[in-house]
Amino acid sequence: MFHPPSRPPSSRRYSRRETLWLLSLTTAGWASSSLLSGCSVNPVTGEQQLMLMSPAQELAVDRQHAPQQFSNDFGAVQDEALNRYLTRVGQEMAQLSHRPQVPYNYRAVNATHVNAYTFPAGSTAVTRGILLEMQNEAELAALLGHELGHVNARHAAQRQTRSLFTQLGLSGIGYLSSYYSQTAGMLVNSLGGVTSKALLSSYSRDDERQADALGMAYMAKGGHNPAGMVGLMELLSAQSKQKPNALETMFATHPMSRERLSTAKRRFQESYRNHQAAPNNRARYMDHTATIRAQKPTIEWIQKADTALANKQVSQAESCLAKALKSTEDDYTALVKMAKIQLAKGDARGAKRYVELAKHSYPNEAQALHVAAITNLTSGNPSAAHEDLLAYERVVPGNPQTTFLQGKALDDMQRPSEAARYYRAYLRRGSRDAYSHYAQQRLQQWSQTNPQP
């Protein structure tokens, strides 16, 4: 197991294991806390429930964590027409839901795995991977309606309530192994840009059933064909066999079963047969997702790269990403993932080339700035890393991992007083990980030589 270095490398180049240690910070989870808010009325059932998260706290969670998660999924797609389309479909149903006052917002994100998710106060993302697979607007409405169901039933608040009795807070992602042969498993998380287990709710099967039922109701109210829910379930069932790795994250947070599919079919026949003539708006969906479908070869090569990483085939993953970039030379997701692979291999020069291309492809998207900072740190250029981290903080403020990295950059720049402030700020967040251990170690070393660094 790798132990973090006890001394700052200053302006020297980092070893591979030190690089991997820092690289794990690019997708490390943020810790969250629960504050007691007491009983409230469930907006769907009308029943009194013990809720340890108030609506105001739901909104605070969205504001704090959603920007980081969207960046972990490589940012919103740079297709404003598509994002407006998703917003229109989602908002039309949201205004007919049990909680129309929630500040819902929608975007497609550049991640290529098959997934959609929402935060407790309605911040919703849909990946390129699932947009590519769906075939009509009715299926999109089913997807967004399902996510609306989670928000309206306050499933995240219920889960937070249940979790408080079994654990105190959430832990961050652990640091990386020191051996290159063990890095492939890490890269599944680090390269995938997914931290849903730490930031998003993992719903129960009962939650999923209720969200499915609510989604169909909202679809019907909005004039969509509820058969889209059946189509979506059939699509996910088929894709789980064809591309299991691409759906791993979705099924981790949204459990799928044959029972959900059969229930959707039965519910449509029993409750929504009079809606079967409603349009599925396939042509409109295809028009608005044309840019995504044009990227199909690129998306599929990135998915193959993720599968290769899951199988610890790092060289194969690199080859797949190269083919993705041959198809779309400025694909931001592929560029960032390729930069991380170069870092994991110890090729800081190669990482620098890809991360600069990524920054040019999507200016000011936060994840490339984070990777650029680590690239500069490991290349012995902490001053440039410091500037990258300042830029990152302007885009996505409040990430505790950035706080640690700022301390590390200033530490390497031989500015202990400033570094100590960042290390202390990181420790005040209560993390118990390799980075907090390192920060504490440095502060103790300074206290022995200088009581007030």
- Residue 417 forms part of a structural domain: no
pLDDT given at position 377:
92
Least confident of 200-214, 252-266, 395-409, 431-445: 252-266
Distance from C-alpha of 316 to C-alpha of 310, rounded to nearest angstrom: 11
Query: 166: pLDDT confidence band, cut at 50, 70 and 90?
Result: very low
Q: What is the edge-to-edge ordering of all strands in the sheet holding 116-118? A: 105-109, 123-127, 116-118
- Residue 344 forms part of a structural domain: no
- Domain count for the chain, please give it: 1
- 264: nearest Cα among 144, 98, 142: 142
Query: 33: pLDDT confidence band, cut at 50, 70 and 90?
Result: very low
DSSP letters, 315-371, are HHHHHHHHHHHHHSTT-HHHHHHHHHHHHHHT-HHHHHHHHHHHHHHSTT-HHHHHH
Query: 124: pLDDT confidence band, cut at 50, 70 and 90?
Result: very high
Task: Please check the confidence at residue 37 and state whether its pLDDT lies above 70.
Answer: no
Residues 6+ apart with CB under 8 A from 361: 330, 331, 332, 335
- 195: nearest Cα among 152, 133, 252, 155: 252
pLDDT given at position 320:
98
**Cβ–Cβ < 8 Å for 134, 26:** no
Distances from the Cα of 394 to the Cα of 53, 59, 332, 391, angstroms: 28, 21, 20, 5
Least confident of 6-10, 153-157, 262-266, 401-405: 6-10
Task: Please check the confidence at residue 164 and state whether its pLDDT lies above 90.
Answer: no
pLDDT given at position 420:
97
pLDDT given at position 181:
31
Neighbours of 329 (CB within 10 A): 12
Distance from C-alpha of 431 to C-alpha of 423, rounded to nearest angstrom: 11
Angle at 2 between CA 192 and CA 442, to 5 degrees: 105
- Residue 156 forms part of a structural domain: yes
CA torsion, ordered 142, 145, 151, 154, to nearest 10 deg: -80
Rounded average pLDDT over 213-227? 96
The percentage of residues in the chain with a pLDDT greater than 70, rounded to a whole number, is 74
The phi and psi torsions of 105 (rounded to 5 degrees) equal -150, 150
Task: Please check the confidence at residue 425 and state whether its pLDDT lies above 80.
Answer: yes
Least confident of 39-48, 64-73, 271-280, 405-414: 39-48
Query: 412: pLDDT confidence band, cut at 50, 70 and 90?
Result: very high
Partners of residue 118 on adjacent β-strands: 124
- Residue 164 forms part of a structural domain: yes
User: What is the enclosing helix (H) or strand (E) of 39?
Assistant: strand 39-41
Rounded average pLDDT over 39-59? 67
Distances from the Cα of 78 to the Cα of 220, 331, 363, 451, angstroms: 31, 11, 11, 50
Instruction: Label residue 393 exposed, middle or buried (CB < 10 Å: 0-12, 13-18, 19+).
Output: middle
- pLDDT tens column, 384-410: 999 999 999 999 998 888 999 999 999
- Residue 298 forms part of a structural domain: no
Would strands 123-127 and 105-109 be described as parallel, antiparallel, or unpaired? parallel
**Cβ–Cβ < 8 Å for 438, 444:** no
Distance from C-alpha of 372 to C-alpha of 387, rounded to nearest angstrom: 10
Task: Please check the confidence at residue 194 and state whether its pLDDT lies above 50.
Answer: no
308-321: b (≥16 Cβ within 10 Å) or e: bbbeeebebbbebb
Would strands 48-50 and 39-41 be described as parallel, antiparallel, or unpaired? antiparallel
Task: Please check the confidence at residue 175 and state whether its pLDDT lies above 50.
Answer: no
The phi and psi torsions of 343 (rounded to 5 degrees) equal -60, -45
User: What would the two tokens of residue 81 be?
Assistant: 């027409």
**Cβ–Cβ < 8 Å for 90, 124:** yes
Task: Please check the confidence at residue 163 and state whether its pLDDT lies above 60.
Answer: no
In one-letter notation, the amino acid at residue 222 is G
The phi and psi torsions of 123 (rounded to 5 degrees) equal -75, 115
Distance from C-alpha of 168 to C-alpha of 199, rounded to nearest angstrom: 15
- pLDDT tens column, 61-117: 889 889 999 999 999 999 999 999 999 999 999 999 999 999 999 999 999 999 999
pLDDT given at position 236:
84
Task: Please check the confidence at residue 275 and state whether its pLDDT lies above 80.
Answer: yes
- Please indicate whether residue 328 or residue 257 has the higher confidence score (pLDDT): 328
pLDDT given at position 431:
77
Rounded average pLDDT over 295-321? 95
**Total residues found in the chain within this entry:** 453
pLDDT given at position 45:
63
Task: Please check the confidence at residue 1 and state whether its pLDDT lies above 60.
Answer: no
Task: Please check the confidence at residue 14 and state whether its pLDDT lies above 80.
Answer: no
Residue 148's domain comprises 39-175+196-292
pLDDT given at position 160:
58
- Please indicate whether residue 324 or residue 262 has the higher confidence score (pLDDT): 324
Task: Please check the confidence at residue 183 and state whether its pLDDT lies above 80.
Answer: no
- Residue 410 forms part of a structural domain: no
pLDDT given at position 49:
59
The phi and psi torsions of 261 (rounded to 5 degrees) equal -65, -45
- Please indicate whether residue 63 or residue 450 has the higher confidence score (pLDDT): 63
Query: 193: pLDDT confidence band, cut at 50, 70 and 90?
Result: very low
- Residue 45 forms part of a structural domain: yes
Residues 6+ apart with CB under 8 A from 262: none
- Residue 29 forms part of a structural domain: no
Average pLDDT, the chain: 82
The phi and psi torsions of 76 (rounded to 5 degrees) equal -65, 145
